[in-house]
């Protein structure tokens, strides 16, 4: 099938504004476009059809969206037209503008940089998938750490056929493995195109880089780009803002990579999912940044809009309206701070408890300073067997992520339960490995 003329126009528009970004597009990305059919005609009618608008495929009654009272009573205070009709494929404009304003406020390094208007996605996972559609072909290489969210394999490996290039997330000294990251890029920059996935705060480890480590990441990417490699830097910021340690970077890597080199296209995937504690509302955002002039972002937005239109049609207007209303509320920031403080106290409690040296006979804790999670490297026992025993004999659930590592989501454990959780985990590990020393009391060590 030949490429549609509208797609060709967008491809040429991208090439004229940023030729290296044109080189990054996947085969599907080249074919994507935003149709000028019903949606365009309905948009025109919305502006000009003052007498009767018979274009859009919804039902209306008495001048507003037809609705069931039993549905609308669930949205007390909201008008039917604000929650029930379809949203634009790229999202409610007011929410997109508001999210961009907040992004600039939270990431001061973006001031003066060229970034696109965020496109609304159905959660961060949907945004990651859209990036795959636009930029990843079979056998493309994606650089990511050994400790990474398992769903990346489904999104980019199974769906798009990308090949993972893994590097150890942590160095021997316990911080981000900047040398390993740089080596991975340098060793494969001759491929011409690389996808680099940066997920901070990291899932599963809950680690975010320090300022020097962030600088090293940028330097490695800039060096590869300067050598002639096109870099798609995918910043998965699902847990953005949940930074508990003064030493870790408080901005997104997207802010540091925006405009760093003409061969670097940075993509920020974030959303209300974790930042606003609305996991099931599925409101995410996709934002581009690179060094360019002209209408590049307009063309990329139309391709993203075409990908959304051709898959899920549009994202939930109700969810977008609820979020926008909340963001405009007087107590929004205070409420977020209160929840952040709860999570921070839990993280600090975990650090305090795990500081007891007796635990070192059972496991080593990986570094963590942010997000929802932390990981333990078990000694002499299998992680899956440990997980099953905790679950079946003690009613405790953790995630086994390798033969030796387990992930603990302290985000869903009350602060007063944390000591008992790790005490019981230690006792279970001791029972599975007779060589571990006995705790000093029946309830385990106290941190």
Shared domain for 284 and 343, answered yes or no, is: no
What does the alpha-carbon distance between residue 259 and residue 267 come to, in Å, rounded to a whole number?
A: 12
Angle between helices 383-394 and 418-432 (to 10 degrees): 120
**Token pair belonging to 169:** 């997330």
Cβ atoms of 186 and 229 within 8 Å: the answer is: no
Residue 201 is assigned to a structural domain of this protein: yes
Q: Are residues 265 and 350 in the same domain?
A: no
* Six token digits for residue 316: 């939930």
Full DSSP string of 325-393: HHHTSTTHHHHHHHHHHHHHHHHHHHHHHHT-GGGGGTEEEPP--BSSEEEEEESSS-HHHHHHHHHHH
The Cα–Cα gap between 426 and 445 comes to 9
Residues 164 and 196 in one domain: yes
| Residue 201 and residue 102 share a domain | yes
How far apart CA 100 and CA 94 sit, in angstroms, is 10
209, 247 Cβ separation under 8 angstroms: no
Query: For residues 215 and 210, what is the distance between their CA atoms, to the nearest angstrom?
Result: 9
Spatial distance between the Cα atoms of 447 and 433, rounded to a whole number of angstroms: 22
Q: Clarify whether residues 199 and 347 are in a common domain.
A: no
Residue range(s) defining the domain that contains residue 385: 333-432
- 11 and 153: one domain? yes
Q: What is the CATH number of the domain that holds 405?
A: 3.90.1150.10
Q: Write the CATH number for 224.
A: 3.40.640.10
How far apart, in Å, are the Cα atoms of 247 and each of 100, 337, 349? 26, 19, 18
Considering only CA atoms, which of 279, 239, 269 is closest in space to residue 126? 269
Do both 321 and 337 map to the same domain? no
Domain stops at, among 327, 357, 387 = 327
Q: Are residues 139 and 280 in the same domain?
A: yes
The predicted pLDDT at position 443 comes to 45
Residue 362 belongs to a domain: yes
Coil/strand/helix, residue 18 = coil
The answer to whether position 80 is within a domain reads no
Is residue 317 one of the residues assigned to a domain?
yes
Q: Are 29 and 199 within 8 A, CB to CB?
A: no
Same domain (yes/no): 184, 220? yes
**Number of domain units in the chain:** 2
Is there a domain that residue 229 lies in?
yes
First to last CA, the chain: 65
Give the end of a domain, one of 308, 327, 346. 327
Give the Cα separation of 148 and 166 in Å (integer): 10
Domain-embedded: residue 67 = no
Report d(CA 329, CA 323) in Å as an integer: 10
> Which H/E stretch holds residue 214?
helix 211-226
Query: What secondary structure does DSSP assign to 241-265, as a single string?
Result: T-B--TTB--S-HHHHHTTS-TTEE
Domain termination residue (choose one: 310, 327, 344): 327
Q: Which two tokens stand for residue 270?
A: 């974030």
The string of pLDDT tens digits covering residues 39-58 is 677 777 777 877 777 777 88
Q: How many other CB atoms sit within 10 Å of the CB of residue 311?
A: 12
Digitized pLDDT (tens) for each residue of the chain, 447 residues in all: 678 999 999 999 999 999 999 999 999 999 999 998 776 777 777 778 777 777 778 898 888 999 999 999 999 999 999 999 999 999 999 999 999 999 999 999 999 899 999 999 999 999 999 999 999 999 999 999 999 999 999 999 999 999 999 999 999 988 999 999 999 999 999 999 999 999 999 999 999 999 999 999 999 999 999 999 999 999 999 999 999 999 999 999 999 999 999 999 999 999 999 999 999 999 999 999 999 878 999 999 999 999 999 999 999 999 999 999 999 999 999 999 999 999 999 999 999 999 999 899 999 999 999 999 999 999 999 999 999 999 999 999 999 999 999 999 999 999 999 999 999 999 999 999 875 555 554 344 443
Domain co-membership, 353 together with 295 = no
The answer on 291 and 165 residing in a single domain is: yes
- Measured CA to CA, the distance from residue 391 to residue 14 in angstroms comes to 53
Domain identity same for 157 and 266: yes
């Amino acid at each position: 099938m030949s490429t549609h003329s509208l797609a060709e126009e967008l491809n040429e528009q991208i090439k004229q504004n940023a030729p290296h970004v044109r080189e990054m597009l996947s085969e599907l990305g080249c074919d994507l476009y935003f149709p000028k059919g019903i949606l365009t005609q309905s948009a025109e009618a919305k502006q000009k059809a003052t007498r009767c608008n018979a274009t859009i495929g919804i039902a209306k009654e008495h001048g507003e969206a037809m609705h069931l009272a039993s549905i609308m009573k669930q949205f007390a205070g909201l008008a039917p037209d604000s929650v029930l009709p379809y949203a634009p494929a790229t999202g409610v404009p007011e929410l997109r503008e508001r999210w961009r304003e907040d992004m600039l406020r939270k990431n001061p390094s973006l001031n003066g940089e060229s970034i696109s208007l965020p496109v609304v996605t159905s959660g961060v996972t949907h945004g990651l998938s859209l990036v795959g559609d636009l930029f990843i072909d079979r056998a493309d290489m994606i650089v990511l750490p050994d400790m990474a969210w398992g769903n990346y394999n489904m999104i980019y490996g199974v769906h798009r056929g990308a090949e993972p290039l893994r590097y150890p997330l942590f160095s021997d000294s316990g911080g981000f493995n900047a040398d390993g990251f740089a080596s991975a890029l340098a060793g494969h920059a001759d491929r011409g195109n690389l996808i680099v996935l940066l997920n901070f705060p990291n899932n599963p480890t809950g680690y975010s880089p320090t300022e020097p480590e962030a600088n090293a990441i940028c330097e490695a990417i800039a060096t590869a780009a300067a050598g002639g490699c096109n870099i798609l830097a995918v910043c998965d910021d699902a847990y953005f803002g949940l930074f508990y340690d003064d030493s870790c970077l408080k901005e997104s890597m997207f802010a540091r990579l925006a405009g760093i080199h003409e061969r670097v296209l940075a993509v920020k995937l974030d959303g209300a999912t974790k930042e606003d504690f609305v996991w099931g509302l599925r409101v995410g955002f996709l934002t581009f940044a690179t060094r360019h002039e002209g209408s590049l972002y307009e063309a990329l937005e139309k391709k993203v809009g075409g990908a959304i239109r051709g898959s899920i049609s549009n994202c939930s207007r109700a969810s977008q309206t609820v979020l926008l209303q909340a963001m405009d509320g007087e107590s929004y920031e205070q409420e977020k701070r209160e929840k952040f403080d709860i999570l921070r106290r839990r993280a600090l409690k975990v650090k305090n408890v795990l500081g007891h040296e007796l635990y070192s006979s059972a496991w080593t804790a990986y570094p963590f300073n942010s997000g929802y999670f932390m990981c333990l490297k078990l000694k002499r026992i299998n992680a899956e067997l440990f997980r099953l025993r905790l679950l079946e004999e003690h009613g405790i659930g953790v995630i086994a992520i390798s033969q030796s590592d387990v992930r603990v989501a302290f985000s869903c454990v009350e602060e007063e339960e944390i000591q008992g959780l790790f005490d019981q985990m230690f006792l279970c590990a001791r029972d599975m490995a007779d060589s571990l020393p006995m705790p000093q009391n029946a309830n385990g060590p106290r941190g």
